[in-house]
Amino acid sequence: EAAVTQSPRNKVTVTGGNVTLSCRQTNSHNYMYWYRQDTGHGLRLIHYSYGAGNLQIGDVPDGYKATRTTQEDFFLLLELASPSQTSLYFCASSDVTGAGEQYFGPGTRLTVL
Amino acid sequence: KTQVEQSPQSLVVRQGENCVLQCNYSVTPDNHLRWFKQDTGKGLVSLTVLVDQKDKTSNGRYSATLDKDAKHSTLHITATLLDDTATYICVVGDRGSALGRLHFGAGTQLIVIP
């Protein structure tokens, strides 16, 4: 069973604050993803990576940076948080040969006041 | 433009009843379609994946169909339980590998009452 963990699980910050969301997967997957989930929308891809040091832009990247430090760890950075970034954030991982199946973490709920 | 539409948006059923969730999509190409269950505030758990042009799968009380010609899928839940209360998300993959993109529906919120 694929294991993807996220921290923190909940975070509250203020407008203009600096936030880092962490994701770790322990299944040696090459690909990792960051999504946001908002009511009335499907999950939307922010950034993804296919290996340590690699970063690819997703569909809604504005206001977000990401860094993949190792195969296991993928971070999402909000350097000047805004209320519009209040959301539920999911990390996922997949193997390049896994027929497109992604394994999801439990999510981080971020509130920007 | 939304490429994966799910209906209904929400559904309330009594424990023991059956229900059907719908997914229509316009994603091209449509390599596969997967249904996820998401408990409130939790991550997505895969229920089943459909791959063939006209496909059917069964996983316990969950069964699903896919018709790629109609770009339509259904998820049937038989004899619902209180624990089936969750959001069910339809996801279409445009390739059969991590090189492809996943297209997510907004989900159907199912509430099972005693």
State residue B64's pLDDT score.
Answer: 98
| A27 inside 8 A of chain B by CB | no
Residue A106: its chain B contacts at CB < 8 A?
Answer: 42-43
CB count, 10 Å around CB of A65?
Answer: 14
Rounded CA gap, A8 and A76, in Å? Answer: 12
| B107 inside 8 A of chain A by CB | yes
Rounded to a whole number of angstroms, the distance from the CA of B112 to the nearest CA of chain A is 20
**Contact indicator for A63, A78 with CB cutoff of 8 Å:** yes
Rounded CA gap, A41 and A43, in Å? Answer: 6
Residue B99: its chain A contacts at CB < 8 A?
Answer: 96
List pLDDT tens digits, range A35-60. 999 988 889 999 999 999 999 999 99
Q: Which of A30, A97, A102 sits opposite B102 (nearest CB)?
A: A102
- Going by C-alpha positions, the residue among A26, A64, A25 that lies closest to residue A45 is A64
Query: Rounded to whole angstroms, what are the CA distances from B73 to A103, B5, B11, B48, B56?
Result: 22, 11, 17, 12, 10
CA B32 from chain center: how many Å?
12
Local confidence band at A95 (pLDDT 50, 70, 90 cut-offs):
confident
Mean pLDDT (chain A) is: 92
Q: Which of B4, B41, B102 sits opposite A107 (nearest CB)?
A: B41
Q: Which of A50, A100, A106 sits opposite B102 (nearest CB)?
A: A100
Query: Percent of chain A scored above 90 by pLDDT?
Result: 81
Chain A residue with minimal CA distance to B9?
A40
Rounded CA gap, B72 and B26, in Å? Answer: 9
State residue B101's pLDDT score.
Answer: 84
Query: Percent of chain A scored above 70 by pLDDT?
Result: 95
Query: Rounded to whole angstroms, what are the CA distances from A108 to A32, B2, B83?
Result: 16, 24, 23
| B7 inside 8 A of chain A by CB | no
State residue A102's pLDDT score.
Answer: 86
Q: Which of A30, A100, A107 sits opposite B100 (nearest CB)?
A: A100
Local confidence band at A100 (pLDDT 50, 70, 90 cut-offs):
low
**Contact indicator for A4, A93 with CB cutoff of 8 Å:** yes
Residue A96: its chain B contacts at CB < 8 A?
Answer: 97-99
> Which segments in chain B show pLDDT lower than 50?
none
Provide the token pair at B56: 């059917």
- Going by C-alpha positions, the residue among A104, A87, A107 that lies closest to residue A7 is A107
Rounded CA gap, A47 and A65, in Å? Answer: 8
